[in-house]
Structure 1
Amino acid sequence: MNIPTFLNHISPNLLNSTPIPRPKPPTRPLIPINLISNPLGLSYDNDVLHRNVFLFYTLMLPIVVFLVLSQPSGD
């Protein structure tokens, strides 16, 4: 068996062989959950963290509402 015949014999097997699938890396969520509950990334135990999150959003909500309502109307 000469070389071209040998290549013709093995090349269909090489072309039809499927590549070994690589495992996909784990996908991370777009916004990590702890960024919402702990925007500064500080490490607390759960009670302190929940109290700080509650205080942060309780204080921020009236400020944001005031700033939105105090904008001049677009007319």
Structure 2
Amino acid sequence: MEMRCPVCQSPLQSHDDHVYCDHCQRRYQQLALCPDCSKPLDVLKACGAVDYFCSHGDGLISKRRVNLLYAPL
């Protein structure tokens, strides 16, 4: 799934701690939200893999189910 700018729908470029829109010249923080409780997920990174964990009772969440939100920085 390609990340798109919430303002202009241009592709977003991934950086270490944020995503960036070349067209709008805007930076966004990518937030992963639980699809069940809508609370922020803990991001677990190991050996190149990214997993998501809901510490509010839902446990490990498949990345296909994660809701991504882009908040302006």
Whether TM-score is above 0.5 comes out as no
Q: TM-score range by the shorter chain?
A: under 0.3
Structure number with greater CO (CA < 8 Å, separation at least 6) is 2
Asked which structure has the greater CA Rg, the reply is 1
- Point out the structure with the larger helix share: 1
TM-score by length of 2: 0.20
Normalising by structure 1, we get a TM-score of 0.20
